[in-house]
Structure 1
């Protein structure tokens, strides 16, 4: 059996919208398509979206994240929604519950970027973590905030995925220049 090198593998990316109303079809999912659009602009290497629209239920979020990481083989899982202080906002708790390593710098940077636009960014609880060979990132629900936050953190994403043995992600440098340390 031959193993593909990370440079030749197509990336599978989970895109998870977490919304009671969108999961029931009462509200159009704007977050998932915004993530897909942004990733399509950022990434130049081959990738495949694995989309999900689910309710704000912690057990459901946890099982979806586990399935995308463990069974679907997604190197990156990006969620939208459920990161505020409302009682049904449990995305960070579900993310932490499936985490093997927390990556708090992602949430710190996203809040810092969002504070340039809205003072309520301090209410956001986005986080990120590693599960196996998957990087999971929680984004806010608003499409413009998704763009701002994803573009802010994405320069670190390809190297993080390299470090967890994922596929080699290349970016459109006019939008997002991926940082990778120079080989010595």
Structure 2
């Protein structure tokens, strides 16, 4: 049974932003991109947290299990630095890892910067939630979302999340013909 309430989580993972020493640019970039991509109404659940694995895990669990976010996007903490633990936290709370998302995002980012090979971002599912780790740079967030978002609504359909409709002039979702249906 598909959930009709659309809740989307946005998590910025940054020690400095969580302490107010640095302006969060990633969270607003994710929110703006999704606002352009989706039709209809939805509820945003935004968080700015420190690079602490247990805190990241708890935040992802809260957004998925308590708030019922069908989509949770994270930014930050995906590089090779010692404090970068977002992929580990994501993997720890996911039921399934979806390697194709990470492969496609890195391939897209490599078109712009050779350091994209350092990115360890992943994606996976937790119950009826799809969690996607994105890069920290706002322009890279948009590039990566554009590369993977066509598959996001159908993925969320398959895990019984909310039915997402896209603004086709911005990004067109792909659903197999047998899966097409009228939005609830």
TM-score range, shorter chain: over 0.9
Structure 1 Cα separation of the partners of residues 91 and 42 of structure 2: 26
One of 22, 25, 35 as aligned partner of 1:27: 22
Runs of 4 or more consecutive aligned structure 1 residues displaced over 6 Å after TM superposition = none
Q: Is structure 2 residue 157 aligned with structure 1 residue 135?
A: no
Alignment of 1:8-23 (within 5 A): 9-23=4-18
Partner of 2:139 in structure 1? 144
Q: Deviations over 1:9-57 (max 9, x none)?
A: 2310000000000000000000000000000000013211100000000
Partner of 1:102 in structure 2? 97
Tell me how far 1:166 sits from its aligned partner.
1.1
5+ unaligned residues in a row in structure 1: which ranges? none
5+ unaligned residues in a row in structure 2: which ranges? 180-184
Tell me how far 1:84 sits from its aligned partner.
0.3
Residue pair 1:16, 1:53 contacting (<8 A) in 2 also: yes
Tell me how far 1:182 sits from its aligned partner.
0.3
Q: Is structure 2 residue 145 aligned with structure 1 residue 182?
A: no
Structure 2 Cα separation of the partners of residues 112 and 45 of structure 1: 31
Partner of 2:44 in structure 1? 49
Partner of 1:64 in structure 2? 59
Tell me how far 1:174 sits from its aligned partner.
1.3
Deviates more, 1:79-88 or 1:45-54: 45-54
For the residue of structure 1 that corresponds to 2:177, the secondary structure is: coil
After TM superposition, the score normalised by the length of structure 2 is 0.95
One of 82, 97, 117 as aligned partner of 1:87: 82
Residue pair 1:162, 1:168 contacting (<8 A) in 2 also: yes
One of 110, 116, 119 as aligned partner of 2:114: 119
Structure 2 Cα separation of the partners of residues 12 and 73 of structure 1: 6
- Count of residues in correspondence between the two structures: 179
Alpha-carbon RMSD across the aligned residues, in angstroms, is: 1.2
Q: Deviations over 1:38-92 (max 9, x none)?
A: 0000001321110000000000000000111011110000000000000000000
